[in-house]
Structure 1
Amino acid sequence: MNKQPYEATYSPFRSFTREEWSKLEEHPMFPVSDIDVSQLQALNEPLTIQEIEEIYLPMIRLLQIHITHYRNLHNERDQFFDNPSQRIPYIIGIAGSVAAGKSTTARVLQKLLSMTPETPRVELVTTDGFLYPNTELERRGIFNKKGFPESYDAKRLLSFLADVKSGRDILEAPVYSHLYYDVMPDQIQRIEKPDILIVEGINILQVTINKKSRHKVFVSDFFDFSIYVDAAEKDLRKWYVERFKKLQETAFRNPESYFHRYASYSEEELMEFANKVWDEINLPNLKQNILPTRFRADLILEKGECHFVRGVRIRKI
């Protein structure tokens, strides 16, 4: 009697090694040589043309498939209701830990999507701007929990995303300065009629309900596609500490920098401080709030110790 092979484990995701993923789709006509990677990579986050070709181009093709079906559904609904409506932006959410490389992933996707044949208008917003100002964080006694879910003005962020999905022509998002380590009260990011909006932030896949809040709507409810940038905790710590050291050599030397006081630290003092911040703030936030949301994403980029992607997981449909 022939038995069917037994599948010991089941998963809602399909997994690909880097090699398998890179062979999914070739883009011989995509103008990769025109891309200046130095304009896309964040501090201490290496990026190469090879990474773009092997990891990001297949991602762009996959996103094109999803976006095309999204637009077709829009048109078919208009036909069903016999009432043409305004096209609504396609929203991509990018989540992951501090130092995981979300910023680089967001900028690469923004650049590549804007270079596709449809030449869509692709805008990028980070949720840092929706943090409460430092004065408000101090008033609430949560300044040392900056980046935790409670440190964000969730009402303002949800209102912004609701405006996006309502089809507003002009959108305004607050601006955060990493130099001043605070939201800038007199600066606004103005966004006009985007075709695609990328939203990047550490806690955007969070669904924990605040018992004091009456709303049951979450940031991720507005996403059409979500990505989680994943890496081992030991690598995240290493990248964070290395980035902190790099910042001491650059941004911290600016007298206007919030962190200027650390510019004169010895290497030993700086490493001790960076590891303390990781252990007391970033690691608890990762374990309590960020990592548990990983499997809510549609796509997971699994990074190796050198910041390059070693595998990809895709949610089954």
Structure 2
Amino acid sequence: MTTYQMVSRPSAFTTFTRNEWANLSHKTSITLTADEREQLQGLNETISAEEVTDIYLPLSELIYLHMKHANHLHKDLNQFFQKKTKKVPFVIGIAGSVSVGKSTTARLIQTLISRFPTQPKVDLVTTDGFLLPNAVLEERGLMKRKGFPESYDIESLLGFLTDLKSGCAYMETPLYSHLTYDRLTEKQIVEEPDVVIVEGINVLQVNKKNKKIPQMFVSDFFDFSIYVDAEEDNILNWYIERFKLLRNTAFQKPESFFHRYRHLSDEEAVGFATDIWKSINGVNLERNIRPTKNRADLILKKGAGHRVEEIMVKKK
């Protein structure tokens, strides 16, 4: 009988502590005021000046380095092929769980990159707009699987990304309302961007179950991708705190999808949010979202208070 010993394999990532990462910054003159940080932060997040300086400035510098290399490669290929083609947008994908802070990360990166020397035009598109309308989800019995891969109009999302990387100058993407919990009729205009950030829980997933969709994945269109990670206990706490905050704000509005939960006590709100997490969001995280994190080019690992503690960068 043959026995096998576990062999320690080299990692595909280079890991940086927070301090190591902070030391990579070239200390650019880019800054964010307290008011700007407040506008960019999520509902139950606080973006400190230290977090911007130590984490997001080095990250934006790294992305900008990738953008410059992509521009140089485009020029070299034009010369090689003896053709003059227009540079297509640089696309950044940002993935991670519900309530982990993807949207805040996306807004910070959008703002910081747009302030670099070439002042690129940076658009942010969230995949929430590509969720199937509630009426369709109800018809298909998928309302309790909202956010799972099968609840998205992946064909439309792939169509948008194909147009984007084909050099289309003008595109429209669907918008989503977290108030009404449904897709809107209004559209987001994406017009001649230099950079597009695509943010959503599903952007690094593959679509193995849908045989009707060609074997093309959302991440195939990314030039750089980020996964925002955290321990599930932290994410659950952030989800509960956000639910409680929304109960006292957005849920109070009659047009809110969750208006009927506006009178829940703290204890009831915690119980209800925990049940949703355990039956829907936590299941989606373990089955569909977290298994994709090693497909990212960079992983931001958060600790308590949304403070980034570790950064992993895929080796090239």
**How does the TM-score come out when normalised to structure 1?**
0.95
Give the Cα–Cα distance (whole angstroms) in 2 for the partners of residues 30 and 16 of structure 1. 23
Which residue of 2 is the match for residue 43 of structure 1?
43
> Retained in 1: the 8 A contact 2:155–2:213?
no
Which residue of 2 is the match for residue 132 of structure 1?
132
Q: Which deviations, in whole Å up to 9, do the C-alpha atoms of 1:28-54 show, x marking residues without a partner?
A: 422344861011011102211110000
One-letter amino acid of the counterpart of residue 198, structure 1: I
Which residue of 2 is the match for residue 25 of structure 1?
25
- Secondary structure of residue in 2 paired with 1:306: helix
- Secondary structure of residue in 2 paired with 1:36: helix
One-letter amino acid of the counterpart of residue 147, structure 1: G
Which residue of 1 is the match for residue 186 of structure 2?
187
C-alpha displacement of 1:265: 1.3
Which residue of 1 is the match for residue 79 of structure 2?
79
C-alpha displacement of 1:210: 2.0
> Retained in 1: the 8 A contact 2:207–2:215?
no
- Secondary structure of residue in 1 paired with 2:21: helix
Give the Cα–Cα distance (whole angstroms) in 2 for the partners of residues 269 and 161 of structure 1. 42
- Secondary structure of residue in 2 paired with 1:287: helix
Which residue of 2 is the match for residue 255 of structure 1?
254
Which residue of 2 is the match for residue 150 of structure 1?
150
Which residue of 2 is the match for residue 66 of structure 1?
66
Identity over aligned residues, as a percent? 51
Gaps of 5+ in 1: 1-6
- Equivalences for 1:235-250 in 2 at 5 Å? 235-250=234-249
Give the Cα–Cα distance (whole angstroms) in 1 for the partners of residues 20 and 94 of structure 2. 23
C-alpha displacement of 1:277: 0.2
One-letter amino acid of the counterpart of residue 118, structure 1: T
Which residue of 1 is the match for residue 311 of structure 2?
312
Which residue of 1 is the match for residue 295 of structure 2?
296
One-letter amino acid of the counterpart of residue 13, structure 1: F
Closer, same or farther: CA 13–217 of 1 in aligned 2, 3 Å: same
C-alpha displacement of 1:222: 0.4
Give the Cα–Cα distance (whole angstroms) in 1 for the partners of residues 40 and 312 of structure 2. 24
Q: Which deviations, in whole Å up to 9, do the C-alpha atoms of 1:181-231 show, x marking residues without a partner?
A: 0001x2000011000000000011001412532410000000000000000
C-alpha displacement of 1:82: 1.1
Closer, same or farther: CA 288–27 of 1 in aligned 2, 3 Å: same
> Retained in 1: the 8 A contact 2:113–2:119?
yes
Which residue of 2 is the match for residue 3 of structure 1?
none
Q: Which deviations, in whole Å up to 9, do the C-alpha atoms of 1:245-277 show, x marking residues without a partner?
A: 010111111111111110011222211110000
Closer, same or farther: CA 71–47 of 1 in aligned 2, 3 Å: same
Give the Cα–Cα distance (whole angstroms) in 2 for the partners of residues 303 and 54 of structure 1. 13
C-alpha displacement of 1:232: 0.0
C-alpha displacement of 1:26: 2.6
2:159 maps to 1:159: yes
Give the Cα–Cα distance (whole angstroms) in 2 for the partners of residues 259 and 44 of structure 1. 18
> Retained in 1: the 8 A contact 2:45–2:305?
no
Which residue of 2 is the match for residue 4 of structure 1?
none
One-letter amino acid of the counterpart of residue 167, structure 1: G
CA RMSD of aligned residues (A): 1.3
One-letter amino acid of the counterpart of residue 39, structure 2: Q
- Equivalences for 1:195-214 in 2 at 5 Å? 195-214=194-213
**How does the TM-score come out when normalised to structure 2?**
0.96
> Retained in 1: the 8 A contact 2:297–2:314?
yes
One-letter amino acid of the counterpart of residue 224, structure 2: F
> Retained in 1: the 8 A contact 2:38–2:46?
no
Deviates more, 1:137-146 or 1:33-42: 33-42
C-alpha displacement of 1:306: 1.5
> Retained in 1: the 8 A contact 2:89–2:195?
yes
Q: Which deviations, in whole Å up to 9, do the C-alpha atoms of 1:2-60 show, x marking residues without a partner?
A: xxxxx954100000000000001232422344861011011102211110000001011
One-letter amino acid of the counterpart of residue 302, structure 1: K
> Retained in 1: the 8 A contact 2:132–2:153?
yes
